A and B are shown apart, each in its own frame.
Chain A
Amino acid sequence: MAIPLADQLKMYKNMLLIRRFEEGVAEAYADGLIGGFTHLYIGQEAVAGGAIASLNHDDYAIGTYRVHAHALCRGTSPRRLMAELYGRTDGICKGKGGSMHFFDNEHYFMGGYGIVGGHLPIAAGLGLGIHMRSEDRVVMAFLGDGASNQGVFHESMNFAKLWDLPIIFVVENNFYGIATDVRVSSAFNEIHRKAQGYGMPGHVVNGMDVIAVREACDEVVSYVRQGSGPVLLEARCYRYQGHSMTDPARYRSQAEADLWRKRDPIPRLAKQLLAQDVEQERLDGFQTEVNEIVADSMQFAEASPRPGPEALYEDLYAENYGG
């Protein structure tokens, strides 16, 4: 089924927002306003942009340490995300998590996690919770190609299928685990076919095409929502930047990077939208709008106070005891 134009426009705007947000992050990082590990999503916008659009508001999404985009697509306020990156009290996690640990209960974004694959058993647990509570919900768990070689990936796939839990594993295959090419790290690098080992459907989609991602996800989400059990979807994509802000990505050739940049998901969708009689002015208007949103989020973040010393011991436990 064709994706309605309104949805296409929304995904276009989301991709623009992700890219501009990440550019703003890179600027702030260069200015020393953001510290720690910061992993940018530029180039991969079509994956989160298309996949999360298939979810209902109360479905769960969970991701890795490269999750700025996923939180934005779930609807988390860019101001609160930027304030988190700046380590301020208005941050979505009060400045205690940073780039790798966005989390937003209100939008059912169940976190970014810094240990490769470590969130996958938690994703399975979210599915188990839905199952135990007989709820009409699904879990969308994002992971990278590197995570598919971790032990807990396999444990989680096994549990998910064994108990037919409502989970969509979205593998964002950007072909590199930091610097290591998937072909030298995975004995079997057709990652979607790893699902077969667990009797689970596995599909592959062009992760540089947001419409293709959205269509594939609409299909698998509806399959999972019907109670048919989990699915793995591999989205092949590319990060334009290095693994993190400190990685110059010398392990990739310029020719390879240029090739992928030609497949950029944003102009690709722009072209399709123009062909559907959307005016260029409207697309330009979106760009202006997201530029303002990001500029505003950076001003907001900078104005937000740093956590006071009393915050150090807050939030550790729900129940506190003396001594």
Chain B
Amino acid sequence: MAEMRYYQAVTQAIQEEMARDEDVFIFGEDVGLVGGTFRATEGLMAEFGARRVRDTPIAEAAIVGLAIGSALTGMRPIAELMTMNFGIVAMDQIINHASKMRYMFGGQINLPLVIRAPGGGWTQKAAQHSHAIESWFMNTPGIRVVIPSTPYDVKGLLKTAIRSDDPVLFIEHEILYNTKGEVPEEEYLLPFGVADIKRPGRDVTIIAWSKMLHEALKAADILAAEGIEAEVVDPRTLDPLDYNTIVSSVARTRRCVVAEEGWRNVGVGAELAARLQEDLFYDLDAPILRVASADVPTPYAANLEKQALPNAQKIVDQILKITL
């Protein structure tokens, strides 16, 4: 095992897949010469050249469209959007095109493309630069949504994403890029649709991913000191969703909190809570609760941002409501 940072796991996955398959190439704003705003493509242009590692104009809709069109010709493009916030500019290409084409064209084509973009807030980037909007895409059939929380998951899932024949939105997190974790020396891939129980426990299930997974783990530590053993489930891919692992965990613990960075209103937690109560209504010992962002545009002021965003303490507070 080697310890590496989250952003390095991104780079390594892309590097390995580009070396393995000539059809894989990457483009986006500042991905080449400077190696990406978050260093995630560092060294790739030097290794693979400007033909396969392309700096683009600031034109997010066209960047995604280029990925779609080149995938139609048999290439396996990786389009980087500098952040998820700019992905909103490309929504028509992602939702109306990439997600729809295979189905509306009667299955005549595959679209083996990956759109990578980091989301999330936490560093006073204010309203337009703090989006955690994975729920929007989970609400859209036709695109896979992958949202890893650790370097290990990043590398294994990104390699799978690049080899996938379907469009994949691969959502990284700005705050996690510098976090470290163990990554095997040998090659490995992680399958889509397989959740990871990051911490086992018997009293309550916390479902969390990306940055919130780490908050959930912190919350579990705090709760353990109170004698409450929380199980932390990381779905890792929201589409496909490993619902079986989630529902069987909640069936055991009989209590559940969904912790997400996105807004609470019609968020991923709303969907999971609805689905879990459909299946477990008579087995639950408490209502399923949500920890999410306050339903306001993310504010700049540090104290207000902290108030708006979910964190470990807020998870603890919710869990104490249903376990005491």
> Which residues of the partner chain A approach B105 to less than 8 Å between Cβ atoms?
93, 96-97, 101, 103, 111
Q: Known: A125-B70, A158-B59, A159-B57. Is A319-B65 also a contact (CB below 8 A)? A: no
> Which residues of the partner chain A approach B74 to less than 8 Å between Cβ atoms?
129, 133
CB pair B192–A122 under 8 Å, yes or no, is no
A113 at the A/B interface (Cβ < 8 Å)?
yes
CB pair B240–A323 under 8 Å, yes or no, is yes
- The 12 sampled A-B contact pairs (Cβ below 8 Å) are A60-B73, A95-B106, A101-B105, A118-B92, A118-B97, A125-B67, A132-B25, A132-B70, A152-B92, A155-B61, A318-B165, A319-B164
B104 at the A/B interface (Cβ < 8 Å)?
yes
> Which residues of the partner chain B approach A101 to less than 8 Å between Cβ atoms?
104-105
* B82-125 interface bits toward A, Cβ cutoff 8 Å, 1 = contact, 0 = none: 00000000001100110001111111111000000000000000
> Which residues of the partner chain A approach B25 to less than 8 Å between Cβ atoms?
132
> Which residues of the partner chain A approach B241 to less than 8 Å between Cβ atoms?
323
Considering the complex, which residues of chain A in the window 174-218 have a beta carbon less than 8 Å from any beta carbon of chain B? none
B260 at the A/B interface (Cβ < 8 Å)?
no
A314 at the A/B interface (Cβ < 8 Å)?
yes
A115 at the A/B interface (Cβ < 8 Å)?
yes
Task: Give Cα A104–Cα B72 distance, bound, in whole angstroms.
Answer: 12
A171 at the A/B interface (Cβ < 8 Å)?
no
Q: Which of B56, B164, B242 contacts A323 (CB 8 A)?
A: B242
CB pair B69–A126 under 8 Å, yes or no, is yes
Task: Give Cα A187–Cα B191 distance, bound, in whole angstroms.
Answer: 52
CB pair B165–A159 under 8 Å, yes or no, is no
Q: Which of B52, B59, B65, B240 contacts A125 (CB 8 A)?
A: B65
CB pair A120–B240 under 8 Å, yes or no, is no
Q: Which of A103, A122, A125, A321 contacts B193 (CB 8 A)?
A: A321
Q: Which of B66, B67, B104, B240 contacts A96 (CB 8 A)?
A: B104
Q: Known: A152-B62, A322-B193. Is A316-B141 also a contact (CB below 8 A)? A: yes
CB pair B101–A111 under 8 Å, yes or no, is yes
A49 at the A/B interface (Cβ < 8 Å)?
no
Considering the complex, which residues of chain B in the window 45-68 have a beta carbon less than 8 Å from any beta carbon of chain A? 51-52, 56-57, 59, 61-68
Interface residues on A, range: 35 or more
Q: Known: A125-B65, A132-B75, A162-B57. Is A318-B110 also a contact (CB below 8 A)? A: yes
Q: Known: A115-B92, A159-B59. Is A105-B65 also a contact (CB below 8 A)? A: no
CB pair B62–A155 under 8 Å, yes or no, is yes
CB pair A124–B96 under 8 Å, yes or no, is no
Q: Closest 4 CB pairs between A and B? A: A125-B69, A121-B65, A129-B73, A315-B107
Task: Give Cα A105–Cα B241 distance, bound, in whole angstroms.
Answer: 31
In the complex, how many angstroms separate the beta carbon of A23 from the nearest chain B beta carbon?
A: 26
> Which residues of the partner chain A approach B110 to less than 8 Å between Cβ atoms?
318
CB pair B72–A122 under 8 Å, yes or no, is yes
CB closest chain-A residue, reference B108: A105
CB pair B68–A133 under 8 Å, yes or no, is no
B288 at the A/B interface (Cβ < 8 Å)?
no
Mark A residues whose CB is within 8 Å of B. Answer: 60, 91-97, 101, 103-105, 110-111, 113-115, 118-130, 132-133, 135, 151-152, 155-156, 158-159, 162, 314-319, 321-323
> Which residues of the partner chain B approach A124 to less than 8 Å between Cβ atoms?
62, 65-66, 69
B142 at the A/B interface (Cβ < 8 Å)?
yes
CB pair B106–A92 under 8 Å, yes or no, is yes
> Which residues of the partner chain A approach B141 to less than 8 Å between Cβ atoms?
316
Q: Which of B51, B62, B243 contacts A121 (CB 8 A)?
A: B62
B166 at the A/B interface (Cβ < 8 Å)?
yes
CB closest chain-B residue, reference A97: B104
Q: Which of B57, B59, B73, B102 contacts A126 (CB 8 A)?
A: B73
In the complex, how many angstroms separate the beta carbon of B153 from the nearest chain A beta carbon?
A: 17
In the complex, how many angstroms separate the beta carbon of B110 from the nearest chain A beta carbon?
A: 5
Task: Give Cα A122–Cα B106 distance, bound, in whole angstroms.
Answer: 18
CB pair A93–B65 under 8 Å, yes or no, is no
CB closest chain-A residue, reference B51: A132
> Which residues of the partner chain A approach B192 to less than 8 Å between Cβ atoms?
319, 321
CB pair A323–B69 under 8 Å, yes or no, is no
B139 at the A/B interface (Cβ < 8 Å)?
no
Task: Give Cα A142–Cα B65 distance, bound, in whole angstroms.
Answer: 16
> Which residues of the partner chain B approach A110 to less than 8 Å between Cβ atoms?
72
CB closest chain-A residue, reference B241: A323
Q: Which of A120, A162, A317 contacts B65 (CB 8 A)?
A: A120
Q: Known: A103-B108, A316-B141, A323-B240. Is A118-B93 also a contact (CB below 8 A)? A: yes
CB closest chain-B residue, reference A95: B106
Task: Give Cα A105–Cα B107 distance, bound, in whole angstroms.
Answer: 10
In the complex, how many angstroms separate the beta carbon of B93 from the nearest chain A beta carbon?
A: 6
Q: Known: A91-B106, A317-B166. Is A126-B51 also a contact (CB below 8 A)? A: no
In the complex, how many angstroms separate the beta carbon of A144 from the nearest chain B beta carbon?
A: 17
Task: Give Cα A172–Cα B187 distance, bound, in whole angstroms.
Answer: 51
B250 at the A/B interface (Cβ < 8 Å)?
no
Task: Give Cα A96–Cα B100 distance, bound, in whole angstroms.
Answer: 11
CB pair A315–B103 under 8 Å, yes or no, is yes
> Which residues of the partner chain B approach A123 to less than 8 Å between Cβ atoms?
69
B71 at the A/B interface (Cβ < 8 Å)?
yes
B307 at the A/B interface (Cβ < 8 Å)?
no
CB pair A152–B61 under 8 Å, yes or no, is yes
> Which residues of the partner chain B approach A319 to less than 8 Å between Cβ atoms?
164-166, 192
> Which residues of the partner chain B approach A158 to less than 8 Å between Cβ atoms?
57, 59, 62
CB closest chain-B residue, reference A159: B62
Q: Known: A129-B73, A162-B57. Is A156-B65 also a contact (CB below 8 A)? A: yes
In the complex, how many angstroms separate the beta carbon of B292 from the nearest chain A beta carbon?
A: 23
Q: Which of A111, A121, A159, A317 contacts B93 (CB 8 A)?
A: A121
Q: Known: A127-B69, A317-B166, A323-B243. Is A156-B103 also a contact (CB below 8 A)? A: no
B244 at the A/B interface (Cβ < 8 Å)?
yes
> Which residues of the partner chain A approach B144 to less than 8 Å between Cβ atoms?
317
Task: Give Cα A124–Cα B59 distance, bound, in whole angstroms.
Answer: 13
